[in-house]
Amino acid sequence: MTASSGLTTPRIAWRVATVRAVRQETTRTRTLFLDVLGWPGHLAGQHVDVRLTAADGYQTQRSYSIASPPEEKLIALTVEELEDGEVSSYLCSELRQGDELELRGPIGGYFVWRVPDGGPLLLVAGGSGIVPLMAMLRHRAAALAERTARQAVPARLLYSSRSFDDVIYRDELERMASNDDSLRIVHTITRDAPSDWTGARRRIDRAMLEEIGWPPSDEPRIFVCGPTPMVEAAASALVETGHAADRIRTERFGPTGS
Amino acid sequence: MDSATIPLDGNSAAGLFSEVFSVDLTVARATCAHCDAEGELGTLKMWAVEMGAVLRCPACGDVVLRLTSTPNAVWLDATGARSIAIPRA
């Protein structure tokens, strides 16, 4: 970093990111693969702030979790299009390959997981709250593939979606779990489950967490990400069942968050 | 923005903190001046507004930190924190 002139010099600079590819994930979400000039690298679970500037100079910014693991060169952001979301609707419908946008990051050292942190790992996702948890699962899988982790950190993912078609990264998650005995993935569909759906059909609750999660005596590292009410409910249920509050890390997103 | 009514986590404030601090304050430990609860700033409940953020203690609900970004300065009101321990990198 060059010499700073004073306290208000930004410590994390805004950088220009170029969209290299776009992938539709579900009807309401898509992933932007970004090439970020001078990207310093990130940890699984971190986020970036994206800033848009209109022609008249009006600026607005939002935070988005990084979906890609530290091992990948392009930064992947999976964005859910929100009704009346002025940033998300632009990112989801107008942005094209080759376009540029401004972002700063990586940001946040609290909601992160590295392979050496160990486990077992309990990941609890609601909707697009899967994004930072996917970075953790991809990081875990990359370490296994590169044999940098001598043995897999046992991991379980409990993932709540409104409908089966709203499950983000569905195929990749299935592939991940089928190749890995130490990873268990459980879906719950809260609104429109297919008629042949044999899995859970309700919101994440204490019984589900007790059935799928690890017992408190295993001292799992727990990451919960999703809409605020879901995160509050899951975090309280986990504390009630005996998990230490400091083993539970949460990331809530409000209507404007992710 | 509507997250003035729905709380986020203090880790959402990391970008705002990064405008003025070279260390990641979301992993610093604050002690609430009101109830003495202690925890990382990332665990505080955050109400975001266009100009900044209000971070409240998850135990007692009192304001621990207020952060306001203006064109000329970033204001930090930490009267609600008895102390903030910033880990050395």
Q: What is the number of CB-based contacts under 8 A between chain A and chain B? A: 81
The fold of the A14-107 domain, in CATH, is Elongation Factor Tu (Ef-tu); domain 3 (2.40.30)
Collect all residues with Cβ–Cβ distance below 8 Å to A186 and sequence separation of at least 6: A156, A157, A158, A159, A199, A200, A208, A212
Look at B42 and A257 and tell me if their CB atoms are within 8 Å.
Answer: no
Identify the pLDDT of residue A254: 60
Look at B18 and A47 and tell me if their CB atoms are within 8 Å.
Answer: no
Q: What is the CA radius of gyration of chain A?
A: 19
Q: Domain locations in chain A?
A: 14-107, 115-253
Read off the pLDDT of residues B23-57 as tens digits, 9 standing for 90 and up: 888 899 999 999 999 999 999 998 887 778 899 99
ipTM of the complex: 0.73
Nearest Cα of chain B lies from the Cα of A252 at a distance, in angstroms, of 5
Identify the pLDDT of residue A43: 96
For B75, nearest residue in chain A (alpha carbons)? A8
| Residues of chain A falling short of pLDDT 50 | 1-9, 255-258
Read off the pLDDT of residues A12-50 as tens digits, 9 standing for 90 and up: 788 999 999 999 999 999 999 999 988 999 999 999 999
Identify the pLDDT of residue A11: 64
Cα–Cα distance measured from residue B13 to residue B56, given in angstroms and rounded to the nearest whole number: 12
What are the beta bridge partners of residue A241? none
Read off the pLDDT of residues B1-26 as tens digits, 9 standing for 90 and up: 344 556 777 777 888 888 888 888 88
**Whether A256 contacts chain B with CB within 8 A:** yes
User: Which of B16, B18, B23, B69 would best serve as a mutation to test chain A binding (most A beta carbons within 10 A)?
Assistant: B18
Identify the pLDDT of residue A90: 84
For A110, nearest residue in chain B (alpha carbons)? B27
Q: Domain locations in chain B?
A: 8-85
Read off the pLDDT of residues A193-223 as tens digits, 9 standing for 90 and up: 888 998 999 999 999 999 999 999 999 999 9
CB A42 within 8 A of CB A106: yes
Look at B24 and A250 and tell me if their CB atoms are within 8 Å.
Answer: no
Look at A108 and B6 and tell me if their CB atoms are within 8 Å.
Answer: no
CB B18 within 8 A of CB A10: yes
CA distances from B52 to A146, A162, B10 (A): 42, 32, 12
Identify the pLDDT of residue A9: 45
Give the architecture-level CATH label for domain A115-253: 3-Layer(aba) Sandwich (3.40)
Nearest Cα of chain A lies from the Cα of B89 at a distance, in angstroms, of 11
Q: Residue A170, SS3? A: helix
